Amino acid sequence: MIQSDKGSDLPDEKDKKDEKFSTGTNPENGISHLLRLVLQELNLFYTRDVNGVCLLYDLLHSPWLQALLKVYDSLQEFKEKKFVPATTHAQALSCEVVKILHETPKSPEIQELRQILQVPHFKALLSAHDTVAQKDFEPLLPPLPDNIPESEEAMRIVCLVKNQQPLGATIKRHEMTGDILVARVIHGGLAERSGLLYAGDKLVEVNGVSVEGLDPEQVIHILAMSRGTIMFKVVPVSDPPVNSQKTVYVRAMIEYWPQEDPTIPCMDAGLPFQKGDILQIVDQNDALWWQARKISDLGTCAGLIPSNQLLKRKQREFWWSQPYQSYNHLRSTISISMEEDDDMKIDEKCVEADEETFES
């Protein structure tokens, strides 16, 4: 052995020959072959003053790395051999052997073999062998019936726990089909936080009660009588709306009172504000009614406020319909003839002016 400048033993030719067998048993294995090439290159730099070569050489010769490579090579060999079971019905074959043993002359060996084959643990072992051999890893599902209607809509079950907090959604009746739809989902409400209800979803059942043919007021009554968990069966909308708009902060230049505005689709979902209040606009998907909340109440649900477009329309209608007067400020309480969706707060009250209100 020759001493290097680092004080380590320089591997001789015998060690180099041993490397071919110590780094792996399979010469075709990629990792073992790569390791041998690295060791051969390191031998060229071993006696030179190269930082880290000795450390790397000792690392590649470490026992734990050699053992890891041997395990890897063994797994690769096992994978390449592709072992196939001799039979897939070992349990049935064992039963046939037991029957034959009953017909043969008795001897200590035959008696012992028959007892082994009839032990429950051995039978379970053969059953497990057959299961693996037959690749019976999953339960067999019954075939689908042939008379499945192709027009049947997919359903989704939504369970929400109310816990004295508003659900934060409104419903309306479809003018053509009469279906009860989710009109809008209020930002920050329970429905919005759950991510399970979207505007446009069709309600089919509420707590097991079908809503087909019911008025929105009757659906509200069902929800008002519900406590704790509320279960909805809905037909999901094909393309759920995505709110990708940025949050906007505005300062109110007028006053607004939802109770005095009959055009609001859901009075109890409205957000009153006064001149000078700073509002956070969180949803502008509706061109006429935005969702906002006051900067001082960011922890609460958002409310409906008239959009900038709607406010300008209200102002025009107001100034053209009134005689000239001197006004210090404008209150957005002007009623205009607009066809709005007759939304209803599904967790608070019926909201149109000609409908009765109730507490949930």
The CATH number given to whatever domain includes residue 287 is 2.30.30.40
User: What pLDDT is attached to residue 8?
Assistant: 42
Length of the chain: 360
d(CA 219, CA 208): 12
* Distances, alpha carbon 305 to alpha carbons 97, 100, 157, 167, 268, in Å: 84, 88, 31, 19, 11
The CATH number of the domain where 213 resides is what? 2.30.42.10
User: What pLDDT is attached to residue 120?
Assistant: 92
At 61, the pLDDT band (50, 70, 90 cuts) reads confident
Answer yes or no: are the C-beta atoms of 279 and 354 closer than 8 Å. Answer: no
Q: Is the pLDDT of residue 2 over 70?
A: no
User: What pLDDT is attached to residue 116?
Assistant: 92
Please indicate, yes or no, whether residues 271 and 326 belong to a single structural domain of this protein: yes
Residue at 285 is within a domain:
yes
Q: What percent of the chain has pLDDT over 70?
A: 70
Radius of gyration of the chain (CA): 39
Q: Using CA of residue 274, residue 190, residue 210, residue 184, what is the dihedral sign?
A: positive
Please indicate, yes or no, whether residues 171 and 205 belong to a single structural domain of this protein: yes
Residue at 39 is within a domain:
yes
Please indicate, yes or no, whether residues 304 and 324 belong to a single structural domain of this protein: yes
Please indicate, yes or no, whether residues 166 and 188 belong to a single structural domain of this protein: yes
d(CA 275, CA 273): 7
Considering only residues 50 and 163, tell me which one the structure prediction assigns the higher pLDDT: 163
Question: Which of the residue ranges 151-165, 214-228, 281-295 would you say has the lowest mean pLDDT?
Answer: 151-165
What is the domain count for the chain?
4
Q: Is the pLDDT of residue 31 over 50?
A: yes
Please indicate, yes or no, whether residues 252 and 337 belong to a single structural domain of this protein: yes
Contacts (Cβ under 8 Å, ≥6 apart) of 62: none
Determine the 3-state secondary structure of 223 from DSSP.
helix
Residue at 55 is within a domain:
yes
Please indicate, yes or no, whether residues 254 and 276 belong to a single structural domain of this protein: yes
User: What pLDDT is attached to residue 228?
Assistant: 76
Residue at 298 is within a domain:
yes
Residue at 350 is within a domain:
no
User: What pLDDT is attached to residue 150?
Assistant: 57
pLDDT per residue as tens digits for the range 281-296 = 988 888 888 899 998 8
Question: Which of the residue ranges 41-45, 109-113, 303-307 would you say has the lowest mean pLDDT?
Answer: 41-45
- pLDDT average, residue stretch 149-167: 73
- pLDDT average, residue stretch 81-110: 87
> What average pLDDT does the chain have?
74
Please indicate, yes or no, whether residues 101 and 73 belong to a single structural domain of this protein: no
Per-residue buried b or exposed e for 17-26, using 16+ beta carbons within 10 Å of the residue's own CB? eebeebbbee
Going by C-alpha positions, the residue among 278, 276, 327, 336 that lies closest to residue 309 is 336
Question: Which of the residue ranges 13-17, 202-206, 280-284 would you say has the lowest mean pLDDT?
Answer: 13-17
d(CA 357, CA 349): 5
Going by C-alpha positions, the residue among 191, 200, 198, 195 that lies closest to residue 160 is 191
Q: Is the pLDDT of residue 338 over 50?
A: no
Residue at 263 is within a domain:
yes
User: What pLDDT is attached to residue 103?
Assistant: 87
Q: Is the pLDDT of residue 337 over 70?
A: no
Domain final residue pick, 184, 210, 235:
235
Please indicate, yes or no, whether residues 116 and 184 belong to a single structural domain of this protein: no
Please indicate, yes or no, whether residues 15 and 48 belong to a single structural domain of this protein: yes
- pLDDT average, residue stretch 150-156: 68
Please indicate, yes or no, whether residues 263 and 333 belong to a single structural domain of this protein: yes
Going by C-alpha positions, the residue among 173, 187, 200, 214 that lies closest to residue 344 is 173
Residue at 272 is within a domain:
yes
pLDDT per residue as tens digits for the range 252-290 = 888 888 888 888 888 888 899 988 899 999 888 888 888
Answer yes or no: are the C-beta atoms of 234 and 201 closer than 8 Å. Answer: yes
Domain carrying residue 50: 2-81
Q: What percent of the chain has pLDDT over 90?
A: 9
Please indicate, yes or no, whether residues 331 and 259 belong to a single structural domain of this protein: yes
Q: Is the pLDDT of residue 125 over 90?
A: yes
Residue at 204 is within a domain:
yes
Please indicate, yes or no, whether residues 256 and 329 belong to a single structural domain of this protein: yes
